[in-house]
Chain A
Amino acid sequence: MASAPANSAATTRPVAPTVRRLAPLVIFILLALLPLGSMLGLPGHWLTLVTRAMIFAIAALSLDLVLGIGGLISFGHAAFVGIGAYGAGILITEGQTELLVALPVILLACAVFATVTGYVSLRTRGVAFIMITLAFGQMAFYFAQALSAYGGDDGLTLYEKSTLLGHEIFGNRTGFYYIALGTLAFCYGLARRLVASRFGRVLRAARENAVRVTITGYDVNHVRLGAYVISGMMAGLAGFLLANQTDFVSPAYMSWPRSGELIFMVVLGGVGSLYGAILGALAFLVTEDVLSSLTHNWKIIFGPLIVLFVLFTHGGIAGLVAKLRGRRDG
């Protein structure tokens, strides 16, 4: 896009370092305390809701790694979530519930899919990249739809959950909650380290000026592909958890509106800040839940809310947090 350099300023708004460190800490502490809150009168289903939100937060976080940090707007990320979910679903249906078998298989499948599609997609940039990743996402979607042996379009109900060395670790709701939280924290830490590393620096630099980075001696596509593969695997992990939470997998998990929603979560939270993606997923799903319990026409409220939010804030929720803090600090 001709005006990319001018536009990139908005996505790279520097966030004060204290905020960057403090905000995620606060988020994780609050999340860790939430199950206590449900004892104190928070509606019981909040545990389920927030578990689901955290699973989507993992997927959104993985997307932010390529979208926010790498500047690659992937519009097919739901495919990875779907691969993760189907991996779990198919293995369980075939009688293999062991997590230590399922996870490596899923991560490998995601890595392979990411490598192949990433290799092709990374030839393009900008909008073409958005659309080519959409194309691969749709292909995965139609493929899942054609999987008659595993329910086709009707999806696949799982009558068991994954186990760890035979233990039913996903059976207990609070237990599941903390597993999701732990996974999210792990993924966040991993992403944080990656971004701060040499690899991450090159990835960030390439977003803003790929020619410069190339001329400096890096193979930009190589770096981007690496990030894409890592991100795809992380999203697959989210899919694995999602299948175990809903006891159900469906091609709908891979449809393009789903990929779109992941993008919205990232943008809502604040592009490129990582913890913003977590906030975005939480805000998106919790607002949706609260509003939809008020009225079936909740979208007539949610829509304008989003529009107003974009019009009156810059840099998503993370930008808002940074700004509020900045104001208080003087």
Chain B
Amino acid sequence: MTLSLLIVQLLNGLQFGVLLFLVAAGLTLVFGVMDFINLAHGVQYMLGAYLAVTFVSLTGSFLLGLVLALAAALLLGLALEFLVFRHLYERDHLDQVLATFGLILLLNQAVKMIWGAAPLSVPVPEFLSGNVRLMDGILYPVYRFALIGAGLGVGALLWFVVEKTRTGMLLRAGASNAPMVSALGVDIRKLFMIVFAFGTMLAGFAGAMAAPILSVEPGMGDTVLILAFVVIVVGGIGSIRGAFVGALIVGLVDTLGRSSMNDLLRLFMAPASARATGAALSSMLIYLVMAAVLFVRPEGLLPAKGRS
């Protein structure tokens, strides 16, 4: 592998990681901070993408469409919270898993009925189309740089809110002992509702941002959901910094693994078997990394304080 290729692959890994981070951030907020396992986070991501498809084509403007999609995602989050989630906060994790699985079935099917089964897409906005030249003829899409930037911005904002503000403290406190927070005079339910809706909006944001580069199709959230869980477990549950680091690791490992596993194995294997082994291994790679991380540090790389 040449140096320039390596740089591009690192950028690719970074960008993939950032996309994962956008999904994982909402998940870790709701899961880590509020101690709620929301399997429906993946379908919320999918809905964000579909809403973007609709609103972008309706308004003809990416930015306007994005804003409308976010608003719709927020509303959807509030509705879901009101109808389903608030009744599950005090329930067992497994009850949450089962109920949110029901939501996955419902929303996946609803999306298929509303938007059809065929993949859809959103065009890359005009002002972010085009490429940046990175040495000897290797181009890198501007939109992907924008995506990286958006991810970093969201990450910084979230970290600040959760770690540095009183709202963040109350959230963390509420996760471990909600009745006590309430008994000290804070309306924890309202707080949870806002955070939950915000988490949904974040998932929607990730979906909307991914729509111009990925195919928008029913079930697109299911793979992402598992990857997002891998990310937050590797990084340390409930920690925004952890999710960020975990996302970068997963993004880089997956990207670099896929692009260099064959070359690596070919050093000491016949090309045909290197290919076969390489393909199987690179699929397994992130799981191997996760198992290794958890074996050495069961609480993840950068666990939230107090969750070790």
What's the Cα separation between A311 and B96 when bound, in Å?
A: 10
Given A125-B298, A264-B98, A135-B291 contact (CB < 8 Å)? yes
**Quick one: which of B102, B107, B287 contacts A138, CB cutoff 8 A?**
B287
Given A2-B307, A124-B298, A299-B105, A311-B87 contact (CB < 8 Å)? yes
What's the Cα separation between A10 and B93 when bound, in Å?
A: 10
How many residues does chain B have at the interface if contact means C-beta atoms less than 8 Å apart? 50
**Quick one: which of B93, B284, B291 contacts A120, CB cutoff 8 A?**
B291
Chain A residues whose C-beta falls within 8 Å of the C-beta of B91 in the assembled complex: 10, 310
Pairwise interchain contact A307-B99, C-beta atoms closer than 8 A: yes
Please tell me which stretch of A92-100, A141-149, A186-194, A232-240 contacts chain B, meaning at least 4 of its Cβ atoms lie within 8 angstroms of it: A141-149
Pairwise interchain contact B102-A132, C-beta atoms closer than 8 A: no
| Size class of the contact patch on chain A | 35 or more
Main secondary structure of the interface of B (DSSP, over half): helix
What's the Cα separation between A260 and B105 when bound, in Å?
A: 13
Pairwise interchain contact B106-A124, C-beta atoms closer than 8 A: no
Is A306 positioned at the interface, with any CB of B under 8 Å from its CB?
Answer: yes
**Shortest CB–CB separation between residue B293 and chain A, in angstroms?**
9
Please tell me which stretch of B108-116, B134-142, B202-210 contacts chain A, meaning at least 4 of its Cβ atoms lie within 8 angstroms of it: B108-116
Chain B residues whose C-beta falls within 8 Å of the C-beta of A148 in the assembled complex: 276
**Shortest CB–CB separation between residue A9 and chain B, in angstroms?**
9
Is B1 positioned at the interface, with any CB of A under 8 Å from its CB?
Answer: no
Within B82-122, the residues touching A (CB, 8 Å) are 84, 87-88, 91-95, 97-99, 101-110, 112-113
Closest residue of chain A to B307 (Cβ to Cβ) is A2
Within A121-145, the residues touching B (CB, 8 Å) are 123-125, 127-128, 131-132, 134-136, 138-139, 142-143, 145
Is B176 positioned at the interface, with any CB of A under 8 Å from its CB?
Answer: yes
Chain B residues whose C-beta falls within 8 Å of the C-beta of A128 in the assembled complex: 233, 294, 298-300
Chain A residues whose C-beta falls within 8 Å of the C-beta of B177 in the assembled complex: 2-3
Chain A residues whose C-beta falls within 8 Å of the C-beta of B279 in the assembled complex: 146
Is A18 positioned at the interface, with any CB of B under 8 Å from its CB?
Answer: no
Pairwise interchain contact B105-A7, C-beta atoms closer than 8 A: no
Pairwise interchain contact A7-B233, C-beta atoms closer than 8 A: no
Instruction: Please list 17 pairs of residues, one from A and one from B, whose beta carbons are closer than 8 Å in the complex, sorted by A's number.
Output: A2-B35, A127-B237, A131-B233, A132-B290, A134-B229, A135-B288, A135-B290, A136-B287, A142-B283, A143-B280, A257-B222, A267-B95, A267-B98, A299-B109, A307-B84, A309-B102, A310-B98
Known A128-B300, A131-B294, A300-B106; 8 more pairs at CB < 8 Å? A2-B306, A131-B233, A132-B290, A135-B288, A257-B222, A267-B98, A306-B99, A307-B103
**Residues in B lying within 8 Å of A, measured CB to CB:** 35, 84, 87-88, 91-95, 97-99, 101-110, 112-113, 175-177, 222, 226, 229-230, 233, 237, 276-277, 279-280, 283-284, 287-288, 290-291, 294-295, 298-300, 306-307
